[in-house]
Amino acid sequence: MTVLPVKRVERRQRYRAQTEIEVTWSLGEDSDCANPGTIVDLSAMGARLVTAECPRVGETIVIRLQTSHPPIDLRCPARVVRVAEISVPGQFIWAVVFDDLDLPQQARISRFVLLEASRTRSNAGGELAEQRAS
């Protein structure tokens, strides 16, 4: 396991969940040029994505986020705040902060995050019980 040094302390304002949600993203409002990606970490304030291509830090993008449970269908403007140093061509890891999400949109994402966290926790508990039983 590789341990990376902490370069700065982050003050998170919302609960986050690790997940895997297939999304599309585009530069600005150009939805005709949508790029595929996967959100691997999500909160009502932002997300971490893994994609084949990567915008530059400071650029504004639009993410199309759709889930079935709970139902979410959002187009979220977001600003790229960092690209991970461990990114390699074809697999970029980068983070965004959502811009201009209203409270109902933030609530829908927060509800998803909490459900995802409870599913992850219950799955981990089930795996632990299976390991103890064998």
CATH architecture assigned to 17-133:
Beta Barrel (2.40)
Q: Domains of the chain: which residue ranges?
A: 17-133
pLDDT values of the chain reduced to their tens digit, one per residue, 134 residues: 454 454 544 455 556 778 888 999 999 776 667 899 999 999 989 999 999 999 999 999 999 988 887 788 888 899 999 999 888 888 999 999 999 889 998 888 888 888 888 877 776 554 444 444 44
Q: Residue 76's closest CA among 57, 94, 95, 101?
A: 101
> DSSP code of 123?
H
pTM value is 0.74
At residue 127, what is the residue type?
A: E
